[in-house]
Amino acid sequence: MFKQFSMFVAAVSLLGACGSDAAGGAGSASAKASGSAAAKTSAAPAKSAAPTAVADAPKAEMVEKELDKVAAFKGWVAKGPADADVMEDLGGVRIATKKVMGPGSFDLAFKLGKGDFKPFKDGLVKGAEITKSKITFISDTPESLEWTSEAGTSKTYSFRLSLKAGKDEYTCYTVSPRESEAEYKAHKEACSTLMKKADAKK
């Protein structure tokens, strides 16, 4: 399953390079039935296994993180887990725990300016066609591109949002796909915490 997921990420990285920072997911594989050569009979095709639900980890305590490490975000703050690091991400700023996927993980990025989601979506669709994977779009608007990806028995959640902090437009996105709906919602909530330090003190 991990190998299939890696292939999908590589495909999206190539096809959506004009607007991608990361891509999540892949699709469901159909199980083939095997027949008995001796009896010269064949079994009916088996149904694809349903995605396996991932148990939700306790929600991490969110604290204010200074984003001054990245020049474009000097004077800005956003919330993330206490043990998360702040780093640059393709011209934006990323808040991530050492383990970016799995229980208790966090991986979110911000980039100033309004995002153009169409090139990224096109890359997702083409990548899904190449890898025979399944992408389901939850939201597809100029302000929000949200989707689920299914690979074998796994299901992940990802998004790219166009938001505002005062008069400043910015894009918020999952770098690593989230493995549960609860993680997905917690990351979306964290998107709205980006603000300038001066506004945070008000």
- Each residue of 145-166: pLDDT tens digit? 999 999 888 899 999 999 999 9
Residue identified by tokens 């079994």 is 43
- Is the model more confident about 5 or about 142? 142
Architecture of domain 2-29+61-200: 3-Layer(aba) Sandwich (3.40)
Residues 19 and 12: their CA atoms lie apart, in Å, by 10
> What confidence tens digit (pLDDT) does each residue in 81-103 have?
999 999 999 889 999 999 999 99
Residue identified by tokens 């709205």 is 192
Please provide the DSSP assignment of 60-102 as one string: PPEEEEE-TTSGGGTTEEEEEETT-EEEEETTEEEEE-SS-SS
Residues 202 and 198: their CA atoms lie apart, in Å, by 7
Q: What percent of the chain has pLDDT over 90?
A: 62
- Output the pTM of the full model: 0.72
Tokens of 55: 């148990």
Is residue 107's pLDDT more than 50?
Answer: yes
| For residues 134-154, average pLDDT | 94
Residues 96 and 29: their CA atoms lie apart, in Å, by 31
pLDDT score for 19: 42
Is residue 29's pLDDT more than 70?
Answer: no
Compute the C-alpha angle 10/46/6, nearest 5°: 10
Domains of the chain, residue spans: 2-29+61-200
pLDDT score for 163: 98
Query: What letter does residue 124 receive in the DSSP assignment?
Result: H
Most confident residue range from 37-46, 52-61, 83-92? 83-92
pLDDT score for 50: 52
pLDDT band at 49 (very low <50, low <70, confident <90, very high): low
pLDDT band at 25 (very low <50, low <70, confident <90, very high): very low
